[in-house]
A and B are shown apart, each in its own frame.
Chain A
Amino acid sequence: MNMIQFLGAVEMGLLFGLVAMGVLLSFRILDFPDLTVDGSYPLGAGVCAVLIVSGYNPWVATLVAVGAGMIAGFITAWMSVRWNVLHLLASILTLTALYSINLRIMGKPNIALLGESTVFSPIEALPYSHLYVMTPAILVLVGIVLFVLKGFLGSQQGLAMRATGANLRMAEAQGISVKTQTLLGLSISNGLVALAGALFAQSQGFADVTMGTGTIIVGLASVIVGEAIFNPRIICTALISCVIGSIFYHLVMAMAMNAGCLGLQASDLKLISAVLVGIAMMVPALRTKVLDFKAARSCS
């Protein structure tokens, strides 16, 4: 793997770190398996791309994209808490609808952003190679998001959200509205994912309606890989570890694809992905087994 491939993987890892944080919020913190992510990722990219092509300021376009993602998350949560639609099904319904909606918004399956002004334009104008400035720029953006999210989850409001997912009865006994928390949490989660989509479109120079397929798997993989590596106990490490998990995931994928000796080709991507996630999911069980084995040996 050369430097270009390495930095490319890190860049994608950072971008998907945003998705991973969104997935952490829905799957882990709210205990709500939300597949809307597969739709809100291209939604963010599509909305952002259309607005930029129409001449809007790229920052405004990015913000509107985040808003669109939040609405998508809100609709899933609303179907679930207001109408008691099974959470998984509610998210699949939204995701299905979003495919058509994305096509409507974009007007065509693919929008190119080459030559357009993006949030990265000032950085690209610097007299350095595109590759070496892009990754730090995205790192800063993801760092800011992580910092804000950490502050939110440590606030009275954020703590209420964490209690909702952890113990519903306790949360209600403390006067926390589970409905409000779910609506808010899924909105934020999908807002983050749409932000990732918008930034992806701007850094890669295109938006495509099919780009969302598998987003949830990558996001979930990042969360699980991060947990397998760091076994985080507090919320700050949980956030950082899912971003690092995402980078690690993308690096492993890049390595596997570029190791000629393995004879893998692009079509094997999903298989490698599934194997990696599978291994990561076995780690907690393996960890207990090793600990038990050690304990048994020290006893005898």
Chain B
Amino acid sequence: MIRLDNLHVTFNRGSAMERKALQGVTVNITEGEFVCVIGGNGAGKSTLLNALCGDVPLEKGRIFIDDKDMTPLASWQRAAQVARVFQDPMAGTCANLTIEENMALARQRGKTRTLSPAITNECREIFREQLKRLNLGLETRLKSPIGLLSGGQRQAVSLLMAALSPMKILALDEHTAALDPKTAAFIVNLTREIVEDHHLTVLMVTHSMQQALDLGSRILMLQEGRVVADIAGDQKKGLKVSDLLDLFHQASGMDVDDDSLLLN
């Protein structure tokens, strides 16, 4: 169980640029939930995710994973519990390391790294097996630098990498936003498969309401750093994009002028 308790984050505190990104967000995520976070630009979606990962310092509030207080831990110290896939396909992998080296790095995520060889035949077999499911022919290119792959391919490998080591929660930060629609659909399907196979708990930030409805078991709508809607279970069944838009109107009291909210 992941508890985000009364999170407050303010950027540029005390300056003219001061911006309250999170103003008291409280969310409890139970095991196996697929939580999608939606909202307009600057609503605090990414800040919420970055706070969970330890990239932004909290002004107030605490983060617990299985009753362990994660608040004082730096991002690298949370890696054993939190796996992530970034928006930028280039960010999640090391371009000049090979595919197998990248995967070997991910396999040891949050574990002690020893002086034993990073890549063994045994783990190579695991990598090949994992890469086969992508149907991209990458299983024959283990020794190619990952920088030679396209953005979509790199994102697919990033997803596989995240699932190579156990975790408490998978943090997806608009991981299809930088891809073309066809590739994005491929990554969405892959995400669904991997999450189901490994029974993962997920916190996904997305711009696309359709994607949130398709993938999520629970939808959080943020507005100005606050949770304005939290839809799960029976409430979520039969929900359409238009319903979400209505909800967004009610919550924000303004018309949607942001096309990105409608993007599928």
A293 to B83, alpha carbons, bound, how many Å? 45
Residue of B76, B84, B115, B119 ringed by the most chain A CB atoms within 10 A = B76
Given contacts A155-B114, A155-B116, A174-B109, contact A162 B80 (CB under 8 A): no
In the complex, which of the residues B83, B108, B111, B117 contacts A154, with contact meaning CB atoms closer than 8 Å?
A: B117
Give the size category of B's interface with A.
20 to 34
Nearest-neighbour CB distance to chain A for B117, whole angstroms, equals: 6
A219 to B86, alpha carbons, bound, how many Å? 37
Residue of A174, A176, A177 ringed by the most chain B CB atoms within 10 A = A174
B201 at the interface (CB under 8 A from A): no
Nearest-neighbour CB distance to chain B for A121, whole angstroms, equals: 33
How would residues 165 to 190 of chain A score, 1 for a CB under 8 Å from any chain B CB and 0 otherwise?
01101111111111000000000000
One of B16-24, B97-105, B131-139, B207-215 at the interface: B97-105
B77 at the interface (CB under 8 A from A): yes
Nearest-neighbour CB distance to chain A for B104, whole angstroms, equals: 6
Q: A161 — nearest CB in chain B belongs to which residue?
A: B113
Given contacts A166-B94, A167-B93, contact A174 B105 (CB under 8 A): yes
CB of B79 within 8 A of CB of A156, answer no
CB of A175 within 8 A of CB of B76, answer yes
Given contacts A167-B95, A169-B86, A174-B79, contact A154 B113 (CB under 8 A): no
A233 at the interface (CB under 8 A from B): yes
Residue of A151, A170, A171, A233 ringed by the most chain B CB atoms within 10 A = A170
CB of A172 within 8 A of CB of B94, answer no
Chain B interface SS verdict (over half)? loop
CB of B94 within 8 A of CB of A233, answer no
CB of A170 within 8 A of CB of B93, answer yes
Which A residues are CB-close (under 8 A) to B91? 167, 169-170
B250 at the interface (CB under 8 A from A): no
Residue of B92, B97, B98, B116 ringed by the most chain A CB atoms within 10 A = B97
In the complex, which of the residues A151, A162, A176 contacts B76, with contact meaning CB atoms closer than 8 Å?
A: A176
Nearest-neighbour CB distance to chain A for B91, whole angstroms, equals: 5
Which A residues are CB-close (under 8 A) to B76? 171-178
Given contacts A156-B114, A167-B94, contact A174 B106 (CB under 8 A): yes
CB of B97 within 8 A of CB of A175, answer no
Given contacts A169-B91, A175-B76, A178-B76, contact A159 B118 (CB under 8 A): yes
Q: 8 A-B Cβ contacts within 8 A?
A: A155-B117, A155-B118, A159-B101, A159-B104, A166-B95, A170-B92, A172-B79, A175-B80
Beyond A169-B86, A173-B79, A173-B86, 11 extra complex contacts between A and B, CB < 8 Å: A151-B117, A154-B119, A155-B115, A157-B113, A158-B118, A159-B105, A167-B95, A170-B94, A171-B76, A173-B92, A234-B98
Residues on B close to A: CB < 8 A?
53, 74-77, 79-80, 83-84, 86, 91-98, 101, 104-106, 108-111, 113-119, 145
Residues on A close to B: CB < 8 A?
151-152, 154-160, 162-163, 166-167, 169-178, 233-234
